[in-house]
Amino acid sequence: MAKVATHTKSGDKWVRSACKMCLHGCGIKVRVKDGVILKIEGDPDNANNMGKLCPKGQSGIMRHYDPNRIKTPVRRTNPQKGPGVDPKWEPISWNEALDIVGKRLKKIRSEDPRKLLVAINDFQRIHLWGWGAAFGTGHYFNTVGQFCGAAYHPFCGFFDGSFACANDYKYCNYWIQIGGGDGFGAHLHLSGSIKRMADARVNRGLKLIGVDPRMASYCAKADEWVPIIPGTDRAFILGMVYVILYELDRYDAEFIKKYTNGPYLIKPDGRYFRDKETQKPMVWDSVDNRAKVYDDPTIKDFTLEGYFKIDGIKVRPGFQVIKDTLKDHTPERMSKICDVSPGTMRRIAREFVEEARIGSTIMIEGKEYPYRPAAINFYRGAIGHYDGTLDHAAIKLMNSLVGNIDVPGGHLGVGLDHRLLIVEPGEDGMLKPQPHILHPGVPFAYPPQTLQMIEYFPMGLDPGHLVCHNILHPEEWGFDFKPEAALIFHSNPLKNINGYPKVLEVFKQLEFIVAIDILANESTEWADIILPDHDYLESTMLTLCEPPEVTGHTLRKPVVEPLYDSRDGHDILTDISERCGCLNELNGLLNFTMFIKPEYALKPGRKYSHLECIDRMAKSIYGEHMGLKWFQENNNAVRPQKPEECYLPWKGNRISFYHEYFLQVAEELQEQFRAVGREWDTSSYLAVPVWREEHPLHKIPGEYDLYAINFKAEAMLNHCENTTIPWIKELVSNIPIHKGVLINTKTAQAKGIKTGDRISIESPFGKVEGLARVIEEIHPRVIGISNAITRWTIHPVERKMNVNFNHLLPGNLEFTDLASGHQETATKVRISKI
């Protein structure tokens, strides 16, 4: 018998569980033989990923067996701290470690809990994110929303009660994708999305337009790549909106009339024109030729265009306001901003409208729906900018114009969890805005109580990149406390937060850092105590996070016994809470964040294990018979979404077409600031997205002649810090775009730069060095930096190329979208050969 790779079946078992190599949670099956993990595959019995698994998910073995894992609680013995400095950790017992942490945090809590910075970012344990609130501190010491979607999630929630969005893989035929990797390299449940997209492209002939400054994998696979200047996607979109409104004059009037506030009459001040008696917004009935309240049953036809005078007040429908506002957004003018030709904008706009098949319908499970198989999808690249809210609004506007919102073939909202889209009646016949799906809105306060100033972003997500600036300049906003400690739980603020010099200074000033994780990273290398968590192959969690098309939880369960003296991170936080006196508050928080019903509620004065919490969570969501035990036996409750859950889900409430709500929020915010004698710029709270010349990115002086972007949207990288995994390191080491700083051939020639040259990259805010990689597939005015070359941890596997993009960003309010809190994620630089 030839000696070749053989595998005997004896002693083998396959254990079904859930992945955690990114934030999502595909179903997996894990082969264990004699206690050793030998393989991880996709679980074919999970409707989410259908047996498929991306390279990260399969690499979990190499993270599990990483000899650099934290094996026991450790205490720092080297008082010196700094990048690359060996902490010289020594093992200590759990009791000793927890006592040190508990004592320190208890003292802080009794003096002023705001002196603790909290960075909790385990995406599969979002229920723990609010732990700071239980402790008494509201700081968000990280920036996950900034590289994901402060301008993404809250606007989704405002718009249709969703948390995220994606086009309809099942029925879409014409898909424009801008700055996002859905279906190719990144974003919602990658493995299943790649499969759905590949089936649509190959089986159904879906046409794809990829818009991106560099040729990301989705652009490589697109029928057409449209290179664009970073931070100008809105100009591209609005140029096409102009074409639709003024040149093609084709849009879905019926959709806008029936399902949106497009027909509501607007006064010159931008606000609704209301009926004197009922205070309801009014519309114009073109048949009876008079104004009526929007829900008057006698309305024969809603008017979208025209100008009217009622009681001496000039009014026009929201649709007309949008059309008038955008009358100067011609493709010619927009082209000068975004560097996409007017001809391309006109052609794509025409194709988009034609492919949307306005007026057509489709029967699904016996019910007729509008059928609009053309849609624009996007992610961080398109909206991660100053005025990102307006970028998002522009994309939603173009989708709304063809009536493709939440209908088959179109642009669909995606829920964060089993709640799917959160559909509740709001005011004026509208859907209730849900901008705060991650945590409740934080009321206005002056001085602000949170260092990220979330109090001033009622339509935003915590702008964690402001934390360090405010710590270093407390006088600007009247902060009367100084953080002295940080708790870091599966998070890496030193690497992730932009404005690196400021973050570094804050790390130097912190007196005490406790970390909970499985491996050390750039931030936790500064920790005084590290408490080791189980990894995902050793622990239990009910997972679900933003799947498109499907819903329901998958159980992560221990596949093997823990390798080391670790504990479940949830239980560690519970122990810390007990020691610093906030256990009751934690129980109260978990009742809320784990959706625990009153009959299963965690009660004050008792400590609950994470398993008990998961059991109560499962029973609360699925009923008494489907607790933890059910999931341990059945693994998942994942099922396809029903048509009525994802199509036209608004239950008779209208969605926003003309965003009057933003004007209302801005007015309230202005009043609040006036009352405390401070000023705040709300000029970006607009009912209609426009191009604004105020954009500070494009005003960076001309000596910085190139735009700089970073990117993570490739399958082996997205949503995860995995370049310390040897298999991933091997992969990215062999892929040209991850080998250096990407520069277009012509630009490189003009600057005398060749592949492999060491170059300096300088923005107005910082400077880094890197190796040049000259390529064709990037815009000549842009350089690109892969996330695979940004790290510097002392972990021995990491490539340590340390072209940390965040050195180049400012981390300040000036470069922040004041409507959402999103940071500007691009910058401008000058480069030179060293």
Partner 1 sequence: MARLGMVIDLKRCVGCNACTVACKSENGTPPDIFFTRVLEQVAGQYPIVKKKYIPVLCNHCLDAPCVRVCPTGATYKRENGIVLVDYTKCIGCKACVVACPYNNRTLMPKGKLKEGHFKNHLTPYEQVKYKDFYEGVVVKCTFCYHRVDQGLEPACVNTCPAGARVFGDLHDPESEVSRLIRQRGGMQPMSEANTNPSVYYLE
Report 757-786 residues binding partner 1 (CB under 8 A): 775-780
287 counts as binding partner 1 under rule CB under 8 A: no
Cα angle 785, 786, 791; round to 5: 100
Residue 384: CB minimum distance to partner 1, A:
23
Look at the chain and count its residues.
834
834 is a site residue for partner 1 (CB under 8 A): no
Q: 134 CB contacts (<8 Å, ≥6 apart)?
A: 577, 582, 585, 586, 588, 589
* Closer residue to partner 1 in complex, CB, 42/239: 42
The answer to whether the peptide bond before residue 764 is cis (omega within 30 degrees of 0) is: no
CA atoms of 375 and 165, how far apart (whole Å): 11
Q: Which is nearer to partner 1, 374 or 731 (CB)?
A: 731
Beta strands in 360-416 (DSSP E): 361-364, 367-370, 374-378, 411-414
- Per-state percent for the chain, helix, strand, coil, to nearest 5: 30, 20, 50
Applying the rule CB under 8 A, the residues between 24 and 53 that interact with partner 1 are: 33, 35-42, 49, 51-53
- In the complex, what is the shortest distance from the CB of residue 771 to partner 1, in angstroms, rounded to a whole number? 18
Of 65 and 246, nearer to partner 1 (C-beta) is 65
d(CA 86, CA 636): 43
Does residue 7 belong to the site contacting partner 1 (CB under 8 A)?
Answer: yes
Touching partner 1, residues 696-755 (CB under 8 A)? 714-716, 726-728, 730-731, 734-736, 744-746
Tell me whether residue 50 or residue 362 sits nearer to partner 1 (CB atom). Answer: 50
191: contact with partner 1 by CB under 8 A: yes
Residue 377 touches partner 1, criterion: CB under 8 A: no
Closest to partner 1 by CB, 86 vs 671, is 86
Site string for partner 1, 203-232 (x = CB under 8 A): ------------x-xx-xx---x-x-----
**Is 338 a binder of partner 1 (CB under 8 A)?**
no
Of residues 53 through 82, those in contact with partner 1 by CB under 8 A are 53-55, 58-59, 61-62, 65-68
134 in contact with partner 1 (CB under 8 A): no
Alpha helices in 480-568 (DSSP H): 493-496, 500-509
Residue number with CB closer to partner 1 (106 or 195)? 195
Q: Does 397 participate in binding partner 1 (rule CB under 8 A)?
A: no
802 forms part of the interface with partner 1 (CB under 8 A): no
Residue 198 near partner 1 by CB under 8 A? yes
What number of helices (H) and strands (E) belong to the chain? 25, 32
Please report, for residues 243, 325, 492, 691, the alpha-carbon distance to residue 328 in angstroms, rounded to integers and kept in the order given.
11, 8, 44, 10
Q: Which of residues 466-525 bind partner 1 (CB under 8 A)?
A: none
What is the closest distance, in whole angstroms, from the C-beta atom of residue 167 to partner 1 in the complex?
16
566 binds partner 1, rule: CB under 8 A:
no
**Which residue type is seen at 425?**
P
- For partner 1 (CB under 8 A), the number of binding residues is 72
State the Rg of the chain over Cα: 27
Please, are residues 489 and 569 in contact by the beta-carbon 8 Å criterion?
Answer: yes
Query: Which uninterrupted H or E stretch holds 165?
Result: strand 164-167
From 164, 190, 348, 414, residue interacting with partner 1 (rule: CB under 8 A): 190
We find the least distance from the C-beta atom of residue 327 to partner 1, in angstroms, to be 30
Q: Which of residues 810-829 bind partner 1 (CB under 8 A)?
A: none
CA distance readout (Å), 208 to 281, 674, 819: 40, 48, 31
Question: Tokens standing for 809?
Answer: 């960003």
Among 22, 133, 156, 194, binds partner 1 (CB under 8 A): 194
- Closest separation in Å from C-beta 727 to partner 1: 5
- Torsion (CA) 198, 202, 208, 210 in degrees, nearest 10: 50
For the bound state, the minimum distance from the C-beta of residue 33 to partner 1, rounded and expressed in Å, comes to 7
CA dihedral sign, ordered 192, 198, 200, 203: negative
